[in-house]
Amino acid sequence: MTNQSAKAAQFKALHVKGDPVVLFNIWDVGSAGAVAAAGAKALATGSAPVALANGFADGEQMPFEMALANVARIVNATDLPVSMDLEGGYGAAPDTIAANVTRALETGVVGFNFEDQIIGGEGLYPLDQQIGRVKAVVQGCENAGVAAFVNARTDIFLKAAPDTHSEDMLNDAIARATVFADAGADGFFAPGLRDADMIGRLCSEVDLPVNIIALPGAPDSKTLAGLGVARISYGPVPYKRMVSWLEQAAREALTLTV
C-alpha cells in the first residue's frame, strides 16, 4: 500500500498547469511496455482501446471483472503509476460506484477518469446527481486508503460537433469543474474541446488541472502547454493508428505478387 500511495503522490505531482504530463493511452501489457520504453512518466488506459482490443464496444460493455484483470496485469508489469479509465463507474448509484472504486484500487492503480455522461442512456447526469457520483469516487478512494487522482470528465464537448461548441457550453463546463472540485476531484477532463481560446479560458477559470485530449484538429502539445493545460491524453488515437497500420501491412503481406 505504501508503494501505491507513493505512486499516487508521484502521479498527482505530474499535473502542472503549463507543463503538462503526456499520457499516450494504452490498452494491455504490450502497449504499456512500448509506451514505457518510449520514456513515459506514467501510464493510462483508455476505455475504448481496452474494450476494442478485447472484442467489446466502448461504454462499459466489457465486463468489469475483465477490465480489472486487464489493468491489474498492466500494473504488475510496470513500475510506473497507472491510471484507469473507469468510464461511469460501472454503476449509477453512489454506493455502487464507491464499492467499484475500492475494488479497482486493489489492482494497484493510482488514478481514474470518471465520466458525467449517462452510459446506456442519453445526455449527461444532472449536475446535482453527478456531484454525488464524484463524491462517491472520492469516498471509494478514502475507503481504500489511497489518495488516487480523480479526473472528473465532462462530455459536453464530445457529444457535440466542434463547430457547435459555444460560450454557453464552456460556461456549463466551468460550472461543472467548479462543483467537481468542491466534491473532491483532483482534475477536470474536457474531451472533444479543440478551440484554443476556449481551452485557454477553461484553464484560466478552473482551479483544477485541465486535461485535453489530442484528437485530430486539437492544438499541438506546445500550444496546449502555453494555454495552461496540465494533462494531455490521446484516448483511442494510438489504438486506431496501430490497427490501421496492422490492417494495411496485412493487406500488403497477403497480396500475392509474381
Give the model's confidence band at 258: pLDDT under 50 very low, under 70 low, under 90 confident, else very high: low
Predicted pLDDT of residue 247: 97
Per-residue pLDDT, averaged over 42-58, amounts to 98
Beta bridge partners of 44: 83
- Average pLDDT of the chain to the nearest whole number: 97
- Which phi and psi angles does 183 have, rounded to 5°? -80, -5
**What is the rounded CA–CA span in Å between residue 81 and residue 78?**
8
Please state, in angstroms and rounded to a whole number, the distance separating the CA atoms of residues 132 and 138.
Answer: 10
- Grid look-up 481504500 returns 144
Please give the average per-residue pLDDT across 165-184, as a whole number.
98
Instruction: Enumerate the β-bridge partners of residue 113.
Output: 85, 151
C-alpha cell at 49: 482501446
Concatenating the DSSP letter of every residue in the chain gives -HHHHHHHHHHHHT--TTSPEEE--B-SHHHHHHHHHTT-S-EEB-HHHHHHHTT--TTT-S-HHHHHHHHHHHHHT-SS-EEEE-TT-S-SSHHHHHHHHHHHHTTT--EEEE--B-TTSSSB--HHHHHHHHHHHHHHHHHHT---EEEEE--TTTTS-GGG--HHHHHHHHHHHHHHHHTT-SEEE-TT---HHHHHHHHHH-SSPEEEE--TTSPPHHHHHHHT--EEE-TTHHHHHHHHHHHHHHHHHHS---
pLDDT tens figures, 198-232: 999 999 999 999 999 999 999 999 999 999 999 99
Tracing cell 473507469 back to the chain, one arrives at 86
Residues 29-39 have pLDDT tens digits of 999 999 999 99
**In terms of Cα–Cα distance, which of 214, 211, 252 is closest to 112?**
211
Residue 1 has pLDDT above 60, yes or no: no
- Averaged pLDDT for residues 56-60: 97
Q: How far is CA 66 from the centre of its chain?
A: 18
pLDDT reported for residue 214: 97
2-6, 13-17, 199-203, 244-248: segment of lowest average pLDDT: 2-6
Q: What is the pLDDT of residue 2?
A: 61
Say what the pLDDT of residue 256 is: 75
Burial class (CB within 10 angstroms; exposed 0-12, middle 13-18, buried 19+) of 222: exposed
Give the class (CATH, top level) of 2-254: alpha beta
Q: What are the distances in angstroms from CA 159 to CA 5, 35, 155, 235, 243? A: 35, 29, 6, 15, 24
Annotated domain spans of the chain: 2-254
50/26 Cα distance (integer angstroms): 8
Task: Answer whether residue 164 shows pLDDT above 80.
Answer: yes
> Which pLDDT score is estimated for 169?
98
- CA–CA separation, 211 vs 90, rounded Å? 22
Does 171 score more than 60 pLDDT? yes
